[in-house]
Amino acid sequence: MKHLLKQFGIVFILLSINTGMALANDGYNQPETIWFSTDTSGLLNRSSMALAGNHVNRGIRFAHKATQKLLSPTDKLIASHNLCVGYLSNDKTELATPYCARTVELSQGTFNITRTRGAYRLSTIDVNNEPQTTPSLLQVVLNNIQQQNSQIQLSLLIK
């Protein structure tokens, strides 16, 4: 029960951060960075929350801890994404590049983005059902990377 309450608290905080960031960016044409959350890894949720709150080193640390555990395909993508964007925001392009390349590679899989109450979740697409109409995960990932470093996107597409 305590674990369940903790998870609800984390999801609530993520929702608040994403909603606040979306409201703050409403008056601007600059797209917002989309931070992904998950139902299976509290460390990745904490990483996304820290990065969304501009606590970059903390977000990177949580993402690295998460990579030391057995992760689902969606969690692997979230971890790589958070490390890529985190390192880019710290101007550590050489550390970010392998994570960015991995994120771009993973984002070409069969994933679907759903937005529920301000939180962006990744799920695998069920081939038996029609895919939901959502933005392309690859495009979302590339936009997030470009917001941090506009030069790295071109080099990732060339590889």
The pLDDT of residue 10 is 57
Residue 6 lies in a domain: no
Q: Which of 33-37, 64-68, 132-136 has the lowest mean pLDDT?
A: 132-136
Query: Among residues 72, 76, 88, 70, which one has the least CA distance to residue 33?
Result: 88
Cα separation, 122 vs 17, whole angstroms: 17
pLDDT of residue 96 exceeding 80, the answer is: yes
Whether residue 15 lies inside any domain: the answer is no
Question: What's the number of domains the chain is made of?
Answer: 1
Q: For strands 119-124 and 36-37, give the pairing.
A: parallel
Residue 152 lies in a domain: yes
Residue 18 has pLDDT above 60, yes or no: no
Chain-centroid distance, C-alpha 66: 13
Percent of the chain whose pLDDT exceeds 70: 64
pLDDT at position 133? 46
